[in-house]
Structure 1
Amino acid sequence: MATSRLAEFQEQFARRADLTHLNNAGLAPITLAAKNKVEYWAERYYQEGFWTDADYMTDVLSARHAMADLIGCQHDEIAWFQSAAGGINQFAFGIGLQPDDEVVMWDQEYSSMLYPWKEACDQNKAFLKIVDSEENLKTPTEKYLAAFTSKTRVAAFSLVQFSSGARMDTQAVISECKKRGILVFIDIAQTLGLHPCTVWAMGADAVAGGSHKWMVSPVGVGYLAIRKELAQKMKPRNIGAYTYGTCDDPSDFACEPKRDATKFEPGSKQVLEITALGASARIIKAVGVETIEAEALRLGAKLRDGVYNKGHQLLNPFGREAISPMVNFLPGNGMSLPDMAKRLSDHKVNFALRGGGIRLSTHAFNTDKDIEKALSLL
């Protein structure tokens, strides 16, 4: 049964012998379902214009429900943004940081996570406390928890770190935060669509991510899922007609903002991108995240073992253990990092330079031949 579901997922992707996609933690190909959705709405806009109005709103709502199913939240706890950074900004600037509040974060967070929190802290005279990673980009849970003080207001971290796949004992972190009254904000961009995402059930206050990595849909959508009680208290960063109602409502100087997460969406949506994301989310749900994860990890383990056996230095915090499809390494055998990067690029094997090394990342649509091609170049 799992084999047939995996085949269903793999059939969603184009196959070109000249391109090998091993930067799926950065920018993955999109599903056929997402491609079809973009083409569908482009054609309808071309043919029908305004007469698409009610239908596209229904499809955007369907996408909101599909994402809520994967995250585990209610559909009206999700707000759309242009990117993950938009959702992170809304939360970081919207929670009302006070002077001397602390936000605790690892030193290896992606810039779209780091910069909004740094700026929010700077503007509010709060303190961004950076915790140093350990050897091979390890992020020990106990070290992160030790950084908490009586002034800590927010624990902001990625469920899976983008450079290496590093992760903490998230349940332990959330439990400690609940005891101390610390807000929990989690970047799930490197989790959703690849690993089961259970942090909402654990009690995370908000999560954010984007569309173009493991969600295998077009660039251009970010999302913020935020608890209703927090959304009700938080002021929107961007204001427009949809903050209060719809574009067809009469202007009213006494109007009150919506009380759910949609108040953070000031105006018209990226319909093509959002509905494409919804299409990919439904494919992922139907196939099963566990099925996708198992194949991505199998291929990642094969790649990791091959890299190690060829004499290269693994930078992954978990060594050769198969808990992530990310493989980060430094070239050995006298080859420089720039030379290795050029060789991969010349042979159309994509990758990313992350965490001081070369990061390769396998998805469930990849094949054993993809791994063998990459290893033949190392």
Structure 2
Amino acid sequence: MNLNESWLDEFPQDTGLCYLNHAAVAPWPRRAAEAVSAFAHENLQQGARDYPRWSRTERHLREQLQTLLNSPSSNDIALVKNTSEALSFVAQGIAWDVGDEVLISDQEFPSNRIPWEALLELGVTLRSVSLGSQPEQALINAMTERTRLLSISSVQYGTGLRMNLQLLGAACRERNILFCVDAIQTLGAQPLDVQHIQCDFAMADGHKWLLGPEGLGVFYCHARVREQLKLTQHGWHMVEAMGDYDRSDWRPAASARRFEPGSPNTLAQQALSASLSLLLDVGLETVASELDKRICLLATLLSALPGVTILSDLSPERRSGIITFSVSGVDLKPLHRKLMDAGVICALRGGGIRWSPHFYSSEGNLKLAVSRLDTLIAEARDNNASR
């Protein structure tokens, strides 16, 4: 496994900790913690004396996110609180007609379900499509003349199923259907090209694969649809003439900043920009390649354990940074709790235990996690046998 020592230096985690929960909330790299510390010290000593420099960090962050998404312009990037807020901007911003239809999958996290369910009172129909063995074809087959929008997670949070977004984007363009991508389980783990997949909207939080803090995310909104979204929040930061506080004839910014009503989260911007600098220094192709090696290693190690069944589709075109497994004859809830107590940080998702390493996770650390799992499974079976 090609592990760069400088990557490990960025993540000086507690000895013996096996952090396999990047699909939930990720640890920060050293540079993000240092950026926050420096920012706090600056505030302590100087307050907002250098606020213009903070604004330059905000602009730089948009440019970093533009690079990660391959957005046509940084003007397409809004800095939002989280994925749910961005999805709500879309759901509440479209001028729906009675009978309009939204398609989602049957595996979506509530963030990509509840905003659409809230439209039912407007006469909008929500259809949850079973993905089955041919996920994209199932969604395409479900499209009708009433389908107004398809909203899909780029990677399904439970089992890590990776979608063919290019195929779905092309189908939406052919049928004049809006295409919305919840990219929270892809951005920072694998390359995502919004131009290549032809999406109208994409959004993600910073606290998973982007290695940043909670409370700050990205909303990509293509220029072709930006003014189609009715604004649901207003304030000083979303106007075209931002900074001209005495002006009464305001209008929304032409850029995606129109979705940012008030004061920015300058503290989180410092952290997220630092974290993104690491990902961009390493390169997303390298990040994806190294992460894939770790998923393949875990698949090999887990498959060797008696009774372990991998629930994730591990074919090359479907693999993501998530591997979910079950254990026959073992109650997963207490097993998950004991894994957490043993320092294997993971989640209970998708009908199994979900592990999600990142590009920097060491081979030794992954083997240690599997060894601890093996021991706990044996203990659970011994306890079952003695009852």
Which category describes the TM-score, using the shorter chain as reference length?
over 0.9
SS of the residue aligned with 2:344? coil
Give the letter aligned to residue 109 of structure 2: Y
Which residue does the alignment assign to 2:385? Answer: none
Which residue does the alignment assign to 1:330? Answer: 326
Whether contact under 8 Å (2:131, 2:139) holds in the other structure is: no
Give the letter aligned to residue 24 of structure 2: G
Q: CA deviation at 1:317?
A: 2.8
2:23 to 25, 47, 51: 25
SS of the residue aligned with 2:209? coil
- Counterpart Cα distance in 1 of 2:321 and 2:250: 49
Q: String of CA shifts for 1:78-124, please: whole Å, max 9, x gaps.
A: 111111111111111112222111111001111111111221x2242
1:1-378 correspondence to structure 2 within 5 Å: 6-73=4-71, 74-119=73-118, 121-134=119-132, 140-244=135-239, 245-246=241-242, 248-252=244-248, 254-310=249-305, 311-318=307-314, 323-332=319-328, 334-376=329-371, 377-378=373-374
Give the letter aligned to residue 215 of structure 1: L
CA distance 1:78–1:321, change in 2 (3 Å): closer
Whether contact under 8 Å (1:10, 1:364) holds in the other structure is: no
Whether contact under 8 Å (1:103, 1:154) holds in the other structure is: yes
- Counterpart Cα distance in 1 of 2:192 and 2:295: 19
Whether contact under 8 Å (1:304, 1:320) holds in the other structure is: no
* RMSD across aligned positions (CA): 1.9
- Counterpart Cα distance in 2 of 1:202 and 1:168: 11
- Counterpart Cα distance in 2 of 1:34 and 1:331: 37
Q: CA deviation at 1:213?
A: 0.6
Whether contact under 8 Å (1:85, 1:222) holds in the other structure is: no
- Counterpart Cα distance in 2 of 1:374 and 1:190: 22
Q: String of CA shifts for 1:305-353, please: whole Å, max 9, x gaps.
A: 2222212121113369882231111112x32212321320220111111
- Counterpart Cα distance in 2 of 1:3 and 1:353: 29
SS of the residue aligned with 1:298? helix
Q: CA deviation at 1:290?
A: 1.4
Give the letter aligned to residue 102 of structure 2: V
Whether contact under 8 Å (2:167, 2:197) holds in the other structure is: no
- Counterpart Cα distance in 2 of 1:317 and 1:98: 38
Q: CA deviation at 1:247?
A: 5.1
Q: Identity of aligned pairs, percent?
A: 28
Give the letter aligned to residue 163 of structure 2: M
Whether contact under 8 Å (1:44, 1:52) holds in the other structure is: no
Q: How many residues align?
A: 370
- Counterpart Cα distance in 1 of 2:65 and 2:146: 34
SS of the residue aligned with 1:51? coil
SS of the residue aligned with 1:46? helix
- Counterpart Cα distance in 2 of 1:352 and 1:88: 24
Whether contact under 8 Å (2:94, 2:229) holds in the other structure is: yes
Q: CA deviation at 1:229?
A: 2.7
Task: Give the stretch that moved more between structures: 147-156 or 76-85.
Answer: 76-85
Give the letter aligned to residue 50 of structure 2: T
Whether contact under 8 Å (1:301, 1:325) holds in the other structure is: no
Give the letter aligned to residue 162 of structure 2: R
Q: Unaligned stretches of 5+ in structure 1?
A: none
Task: Give the stretch that moved more between structures: 312-321 or 225-234.
Answer: 312-321
- Counterpart Cα distance in 2 of 1:176 and 1:355: 28
Q: String of CA shifts for 1:47-99, please: whole Å, max 9, x gaps.
A: 11231211111111111111111111111111111111111111111122221
Q: Unaligned stretches of 5+ in structure 2?
A: 375-387
Which residue does the alignment assign to 2:382? Answer: none
- Counterpart Cα distance in 2 of 1:15 and 1:168: 32
Give the letter aligned to residue 81 of structure 1: V
- TM-score calculated relative to the size of structure 1: 0.93
Which residue does the alignment assign to 2:378? Answer: none
SS of the residue aligned with 1:228? coil
Whether contact under 8 Å (1:303, 1:371) holds in the other structure is: yes
Q: CA deviation at 1:209?
A: 0.4
